[in-house]
Structure 1
Amino acid sequence: MTDEDRTNRLGAYLRARRDLVTPAQAGLPAGDNRRVPGLRREEVALLAGISADYYLRLERGRDAHPSVQVLDSLARVLQLDEVERAYLLGLGSDKPRPSRRRREERVPERLDHLLATIGVPAFIEGRSFDVLASNDLAVALSPRLRPGYNRLRSLLLDPEEQAFQRDWAAATAGIVAALRANIADDVDDARFVELVGELAISSERFRSLWARHDVHNLEGGTALIDHPLVGELQLHRDKLPVDGVILVVYYPDAGSESDEKLRMLAGLAQMTDTSAASSEDVERNAR
């Protein structure tokens, strides 16, 4: 990344985050005739203990390498969490990221075996949320969990996936922020460029979220799902990094209603597989 690229991204990030902090949150009176939704530049500078002129230079990309102390002060004023602070420090670092050979995302053989035996919906995703592998129960949970699909693209562009998510707004906000965290300095990565370019054209929701510059790690939690066959499911979701890819596992509380529904779904999936296999046998014998 060149100094020009870095300062442009640093300035854009500072502007976006400044817009999200209200005067009340910063302990300032709101006043009258405010023309910005968040803090003014001079207010950020005052609270951070730097000159307004220097802060203006940062936002306009005229300083490639502000000190760690300055960035820490800005992180405090902009009320960044640890992930967002680390992202800000990375944008302002004067140490170029060492080049590293990018390797194709591949699923370790042992994970293929795990997917086949784990007994709950599970799949493997890459850094850009491409589905690399999945088990039958994951596909029964959602056909968008087949290899070749992209989780972010499905969530933003597929009406069935949107209906599938009980809290679509939170799901989209979380995954877009996680994509930005995953990208970090790899802004020229071909897969990221392709995906971001497509979604920027085709999704207003993506454009809105991308402009916020939110940065968060997408970790485990609870997924609330409206399944078209078995109804509402409440499942735990764990995301486990393994050899450069992510193992994602969905599972219910033992003995819960969602546990029963998931067992029902597994039975329906097995019946479908058996029926499909029988049809293939009949077709093969007819030849």
Structure 2
Amino acid sequence: MTSSGLRRDELAAFLRARRARLRPAEVGLPEGERRRIPGLRRQEVAQLAGMSIDYYIRLEQGRGPHPSRQVLAAMARALLLSRDEREYLFRIAGENPLPAGGPSREVTPGLRHLIDAMTETPAYLVDAAYQVLAWNRLATYFMGDLSAVPDADRNMIRWTFRRPVTDSHWSDAETICFVRSTVADLRAAYGRYPADPAIRELVTELLGTSPRFARLWAEHDVEERRPIVKRVPHPELGSLEFECRVLHVPETDQRMIVYVAEPGSPTQAVFRRLAERVAP
């Protein structure tokens, strides 16, 4: 350990181990030719982090200079570190972890490719405040074409609580359970990111415009998120039934929402026809 608190050997070993576990496809790189060793190459990590290859190699060899907080943050993003791993990286580099100023709204290349690869499954990505960040072609049949919608209006929770009280949406028990868990998840984000103005403004707006949201918010509920079965009378596609899965992405604190049709079901057949229709 140096006088600055930098543990060079531990930092070097940690970087090597995290690099070895990543596949090129996870960070949006082509697999390319057969690799002699698992994981990314050093130059690939350096490129993803926006730093010189020589500097990164010296860090992995335990002989580099004391990395700045900006360099540590860039390496954490490049290596897709979880929050715990990111904190550990800062600690062994002799730095206090950066405070969480707000939810990550950066869509990594790997997640973008994953969503696009789900050609027969509607899927979209939201941040911790349920702001829609990315979506695939099939998702537009349920959300519309969000490319023409201002960023501020791409929020799932805002859409939900703008529905009139007479909407059949509010009479479905599974949907109510899903909405309740979503509000609980938003409350957790509100606590994690107290300095984020977008989350504060969303909560303030809904407290003033939606009595239903205000009641759920006041309950301070925390529920384990679970999948629900959605039955949707789609105006164009007919009656659909699918499992709505919410998958947490730890390294960015984002959620991927996926509509999973039962194999062999009429809904799966509809999704496949749609995939053929929108294929590039």
Question: Normalising TM by the smaller chain, what interval?
Answer: 0.5 to 0.7
Q: What amino acid is aligned across from residue 156 of structure 1 in structure 2?
A: F
Give the structure 2 partner of residue 110 of structure 1: 110
Q: What amino acid is aligned across from residue 129 of structure 1 in structure 2?
A: Y
RMSD: 3.1
Judge conservation of contact 2:178–2:228 (CA < 8 Å) in 1.
Answer: no
Give the structure 1 partner of residue 238 of structure 2: 231
Q: Does 1:184 align with 2:183?
A: no
Q: What amino acid is aligned across from residue 157 of structure 1 in structure 2?
A: R
Judge conservation of contact 1:138–1:145 (CA < 8 Å) in 2.
Answer: no
Q: Does 1:255 align with 2:264?
A: yes
Question: Deviation of residue 237 (structure 1)?
Answer: 2.4
1:1-287 superposed matches below 5 A: 100-102=99-101, 104-119=104-119, 120-143=121-144, 148=151, 149-158=154-163, 167=172, 168-242=175-249, 243-244=251-252, 245-266=254-275, 270=278
Structure 1 214/220 Cα, relative in aligned 2: closer, same or farther at 3 Å? Answer: same
Structure 1 166/259 Cα, relative in aligned 2: closer, same or farther at 3 Å? Answer: farther
Give the structure 1 partner of residue 31 of structure 2: none
Judge conservation of contact 1:166–1:225 (CA < 8 Å) in 2.
Answer: no
In structure 2, C-alpha distance between the alignment counterparts of 1:164 and 1:132, rounded to whole Å = 24
Q: What amino acid is aligned across from residue 184 of structure 1 in structure 2?
A: G
Question: Deviation of residue 99 (structure 1)?
Answer: 6.3
Structure 2 gaps, min length 5: 1-96
Q: What amino acid is aligned across from residue 255 of structure 2 in structure 1?
A: I
Which stretch of structure 1 is more off in the superposition, 125-134 or 184-193? Answer: 184-193
Larger Rg: 1
Judge conservation of contact 1:115–1:134 (CA < 8 Å) in 2.
Answer: yes
Tell me, what secondary structure is at the counterpart of 1:184?
helix
In structure 2, C-alpha distance between the alignment counterparts of 1:153 and 1:137, rounded to whole Å = 22
Structure 1 189/177 Cα, relative in aligned 2: closer, same or farther at 3 Å? Answer: same
Judge conservation of contact 2:123–2:257 (CA < 8 Å) in 1.
Answer: yes
Judge conservation of contact 2:184–2:223 (CA < 8 Å) in 1.
Answer: yes
Q: What amino acid is aligned across from residue 155 of structure 1 in structure 2?
A: T
Question: Deviation of residue 185 (structure 1)?
Answer: 4.6
In structure 2, C-alpha distance between the alignment counterparts of 1:112 and 1:263, rounded to whole Å = 21
Q: How many pairs align?
A: 174
In structure 1, C-alpha distance between the alignment counterparts of 2:182 and 2:146, rounded to whole Å = 15
Higher RCO by CA contacts (8 Å cutoff, separation 6 or greater): 2
Question: Deviation of residue 219 (structure 1)?
Answer: 3.7
Q: TM-score, normalising length from structure 1?
A: 0.52
Structure 1 gaps, min length 5: 1-97, 275-287
Q: What amino acid is aligned across from residue 130 of structure 2 in structure 1?
A: F
Percent sequence identity over matched residues? Answer: 30
In structure 2, C-alpha distance between the alignment counterparts of 1:165 and 1:251, rounded to whole Å = 22
Question: Deviation of residue 164 (structure 1)?
Answer: 6.2
In structure 1, C-alpha distance between the alignment counterparts of 2:169 and 2:215, rounded to whole Å = 22
Give the structure 2 partner of residue 79 of structure 1: none
Judge conservation of contact 2:244–2:257 (CA < 8 Å) in 1.
Answer: yes
Question: Deviation of residue 213 (structure 1)?
Answer: 1.3
